[in-house]
Amino acid sequence: MNKTERLLAIVMELQRSRVRTADELSEVLGVSARTIYRDMQALSEAGVPIIGETGTGYSLMEGYFLPPVSFTVEEAVSLLLGAEFIEKRFDPAFRLSARSSRRKIEAILSGPIREETNRIQGGIRLLQKDEMDLMIREKVNLGIIREAMLDGKKLRFAYHKRIAEADGSRVTERTVAPYGLAHDEQNGWLLLASCDLREDIRHFRVSRISGPAVTDEPFQLPDNFNLQSYRPKDTRSIRVCAIFNPEMADKVDEANNYYMETAEAREDGYHVTFRVRQPEELLSWILGWGADVAVTEPESFKNRIKEEIKKMKERY
């Protein structure tokens, strides 16, 4: 941070907080208190109305406001929540940038807008699932993935699948060309990459990646690939039908299962159809509804559920 940037940062810090000591500013900006004293002198000479009180700290004269940017309450809340989301869900480099952005936004808000924004923000919380293991692993992986993307190098990692392969294994070694990252409400961060093993573009849930490492092998992003317009191939060809307890209809809808295609309330229950690549993708989810659901087709999946229930009974 050069001197000009530091002087602007000081003014923004003083706008964000009514009073700041030299020690507090030096800690935030990563410089010595002596440097802060010199900066305060430079700001005063430049016409910035800074008030210094011994034993209290520095503040700006009432009414001084910089820069000429204004936000509505809704705009400010949107920006601050967005910054908070990045802080919680991305890697350390972006987390620091988001935190810095948030402080700058807070600094340029006028007093009444800041108070109203704080009040609204206090009633909104971004929930995190498995706040320790899952989130930490996801953040670490994101940093390494971004490094590979920026360097144009392939990535190697172990991928933990929810559904076992034909040989019973759930972990496969992958080498991929990382094309981009997307965030899905149900699955969290997803890596879109060209997989050497599958010889096609695949999606990998970042939280299921372990031991990611950037290789020395370069890759080129195809000219015809655009992350914003990319749509994955739909390879779901198997239809699964189930009837839910009608009292569960609202909860089934709220669950917003990715594979659900249609839902219809009938006299005998809430009829739902799913389309999957393999029925096992629904196994755990269906079992989670207990006696409130009955699968009607395909017959092979009904038998698979019976087998799983039998195994569960043997455990008890």
What CATH number corresponds to the domain at position 150? 2.30.30
- Angle between helix 299-315 and helix 280-287 axes, rounded to 10 deg: 50
Residue at 82 is within a domain: yes
Q: Is residue 181 part of a domain?
A: yes
Strands 293-297 and 269-276: unpaired
pLDDT tens-digit readout, 257-294: 888 999 999 999 999 999 998 888 899 999 999 999 99
Tell me how far CA of residue 48 lies from CA of 73, 159, 222, in angstroms: 27, 56, 52
**Amino acid 125: pLDDT:** 63
Q: Find the range with the poorest average confidence among 31-45, 102-116, 206-220.
A: 102-116
Nearest residue to 5 via CA among 37, 44, 31, 34: 31
- Amino acid in position 41: Q
Q: Do residues 244 and 305 share a domain?
A: yes
Structural domain harbouring 282: 238-315
Residue 13 lies in a domain: yes
Q: Are 83 and 54 contained in the same domain?
A: no
What is the rounded distance in angstroms from the CA atom of residue 102 to the CA atom of residue 239? 47
Average pLDDT, the chain: 84
Taking only the tens place, the pLDDT of each residue in 115-169 is 777 777 677 666 555 444 556 677 788 889 989 999 999 999 999 887 665 566 7
78 and 30 share one domain: no
pLDDT tens-digit series, residues 46-95: 888 888 888 889 988 876 655 555 677 787 778 887 887 777 777 667 77
Question: Do 116 and 138 reside in the same domain of the chain?
Answer: no
* Spatial CB neighbours of 306, under 8 Å, sequence gap ≥ 6: none
Same structural domain for residues 56 and 79? no
- CA distances 73 to 12, 62, 90, 212, Å, are 19, 21, 25, 41
Report the distance separating Cα 35 and Cα 13, nearest Å. 16
pLDDT, tens digit (0-9, with 9 covering 90-100), for 84-98: 777 777 766 777 888
Q: If phi over 0 gives left and psi between -120 and 50 gives alpha, with beta otherwise, what is residue 47?
A: left
* Same domain, yes or no: 209 and 139: yes
Decide if 66 is inside a domain. no
Q: What is the pLDDT of residues 252-264, one digit of tens each?
A: 998 888 889 999 9
pLDDT at 49 (0 to 100): 87
3-state secondary structure of 211: strand
pLDDT in tens, 188-218: 788 999 999 989 899 898 989 999 999 999 9
Examine residue 254 and state whether it is found in any structural domain, yes or no.
Answer: yes
Give the pLDDT score at 130: 46
DSSP code of residue 20: B
Return the residue matching tokens 């809430």: 270
More confident call, 22 vs 230: 22
Q: Residue 283 domain-assigned?
A: yes
| Same domain for 212 and 137 | yes
Residue 232 lies in a domain: no
Query: Among 104-113, 123-132, 171-180, 236-245, where is mean pLDDT lowest?
Result: 123-132
Is the Cβ–Cβ distance between 33 and 52 less than 8 Å? no
Domains in the chain, number: 4
Torsion of CA 55, 59, 61, 65, to 10 degrees: 180
- pLDDT given at position 136: 66
Mean pLDDT across the stretch 104-124? 75
Q: What is the CATH number of the domain that holds 49?
A: 1.10.10.10
280, 240 in Cβ contact below 8 A? no
pTM of the model: 0.50
Q: Does one domain contain both 246 and 298?
A: yes
* CA torsion, ordered 62, 63, 68, 74, to nearest 10 deg: 90
Domain-located, residue 249: yes
Contacts for 198 with CB less than 8 Å, ≥ 6 apart: none
